[in-house]
Structures are given as C-alpha cells and as structure tokens.
Amino acid sequence: MDPPILLVDLDREAAPPVPAGPPERVVVGVSADLPEPGESCDVLLTARPGPPRPWVACPDPHATAARLAEAVTAHPAASIVLAQVLRMGVRLAPPERLVAESLAYSALQAGDDFRAWLAAAPVRTPRPAAAPVRIARDGDRLAITLDRPGARNAMDAGTRDALCEALHVAVADPSIGAIDLRGEGPSFCAGGDLSEFGTSHDPAGTHLVRLHRSPAALLQRCGPRVTAHLHGACVGAGIELPAFAGRVAAAPDTEIRLPEVGMGLIPGAGGTASLPVRIGRERTAYLALSGVALTAAEALAWGLVDEVTAPAAAVSRTRAGAWPT
C-alpha cells in the first residue's frame, strides 16, 4: 500500500493530477509563491503572512508538513477518509454532505484505530442533566442555551435530543426572526460527551439515529436566522454546529479544535459540511489533521467567526434569561 500522505513542494514541482476516483492519500502542498493550487491538494501551507484562502500560514511550512505526516501516518484510515469526505462534499447538496459524513464516521467507529483509542481512554462516568437545554422567547427572538455547565456542555444523547427539540421549534415557526445559541458556564461546548463514546455496538444503527436526531440538519434549515455566541472551549461539535449559523460571535477566550482524527474518527456533528462553507475544505482538513487550537482572532481572520466580541457580551446570561443590549 502506498504511503498515506504525499508532501509536494509546489515551488519546485507541479501538484499531482486529480485522482479519477476517491483519493487514497492525503496531499499536502507547500509554497512560498502561492501558485494556483488546483484541486488535488488537501492542505496548503505557506510562510507568507495572511495568505488568502485556501492557504494556511505557518512559520515553517516544511516542519508543519512533517508534523502532519506524522499525524496522518499514525491515523491513516481516519485521515484518508477525512480527505475523501471533504472532496466529495464539494459536489454534494448540503443534506447529502451530512449523510456522507455520518456513513464515514460510522465505518470508522468499527475500525481498529478507534478501538485502540477507546481501550486507552480513561473510564468516564456519565453525568446526564434533567434539562440540558433551556429555551426562552421574547417577541420574535428565541434564545437556546446549552445548560450542562458542569460538563462544559458536552454533547451527550440527552443534550443532542433536547437541542433538536429546541431547533424544531425554530424551524416550524417562521415568526421567529432571530435565534441566539449560547452555552452556560465556562465553555460554549467541549464537544461530544466522551462517557458515551464506544457505548454503541451497532454502527449502522447509530448512523440512522445520527441522521434522524440531527441538530446539524435542523441548523442547515434555520441557520440564516441563528447567531451563535462562542466562548471558552469550542471543541468538535462545539464548533461544527455553530458554523452552520448565519452569524458567529466569539469571545476573546474562544479556543477552537477538531480532535477527532486523533481518536481514529472524523468530525461527526456536521463539521465536514459546515466548516468548508466558511473556510474551505483545505483549512478544514488542516484543523482536523493537525488538531491545533485556533484562537478567536485566527478564526476571525479565516472567516470561521464573524466577530470577536467584548468578553462580557459573549458570556451566557444568568438563569433569569437577561437579553444582551
């Protein structure tokens, strides 16, 4: 089998041809001159500050490419599947992107890499909440607040289902003109609840559940009316879902990560559908393959968020439900 990654110095050689079928390796291009990148590269790196999309700026692109090679070699199946899903997504309708992502995610859940991650992960105790999502309406404005602050609003099944119920209200009622999505406590959402990872032994069944109870699918329908207010840790689902919003505001302490490839998976809460619309598939692939943390300022420069707010403006309101001024 060929190596799972190909590093190409685009200042010295041409990018490889676009494969006729799904790619079987991750292609990383490095350049100082920023040539027309074409469609065959999955990640594009440069030392030039502030490069245009789809390039990623880094002080030493060749060193960064070497670190990506280590990550891809450590998790080849997840890395290649990520590249395949992102490339396919360009040609798919938005709802179909979620289907492709879920199928790939379910396949990887049955893979050896994810099983190895599960075996090494510490056992975590589930901490379900009786009411993990709050909803309040003021005129034509709807507030949806994730409310598991003790778990940093990690997305367990109960939170997912409650969020779906709240979003169903927004989708069904066109008189709701604005929707504010927030998280209570120190973080907007720290991603999927790790206490539930690996508890299902039926990947096909979980695929169907994932599509039937999908906050991402509902956000695709009402997203233009949504403003997501981010703060603290926004990991996995904590950025995949807000990226569907028509507007994303982030507090200065916002920290964004996509850690799934390091677990033998790909983003599974809609991230391969939502992030590429905002930042392109190449920058999405970089975030997922590298696992690096993106600051609020960096996310603003990329267009992943639309505004960096004053700290007090992005922190979720008290349980009395005060509205921002």
Q: How far apart are CA 252 and CA 96, in angstroms?
A: 34
**Number of domains present in the structure of the chain:** 2
In a domain, 79, yes or no: no
Domain span holding position 35: 5-74
* Last residue in a domain, options 74, 103, 134: 74
- Number of other CB atoms surrounding residue 173 within 10 Å: 13
pLDDT tens series, the chain, 325 aa: 689 999 999 999 988 998 878 889 999 999 999 988 889 999 999 999 999 999 999 999 999 999 999 999 999 999 999 999 999 999 999 999 999 999 999 999 999 999 999 999 998 888 889 999 999 999 999 999 999 999 999 999 999 999 999 999 999 999 999 999 999 999 999 999 988 887 777 888 889 988 889 999 999 999 999 999 999 999 999 999 999 999 999 999 999 999 999 999 999 999 999 999 999 999 999 999 999 999 999 999 999 999 999 865 444 433 333 333 2
Amino acid at 201: H
Residues 6+ apart with CB under 8 A from 319: 134, 184
Global pTM value: 0.93
Q: Structure tokens of 212?
A: 């039937």
Reported as type and span, the H/E element at residue 295 is strand 294-295
Amino acid 1: pLDDT? 65
- Number of other CB atoms surrounding residue 42 within 10 Å: 29
In a domain, 26, yes or no: yes
User: Is the domain of 154 the same as that of 31?
Assistant: no
CB-CB contact of 174 with 139 (8 Å): no
CATH of the domain at 224: 3.90.226.10
Amino acid 94: pLDDT? 96
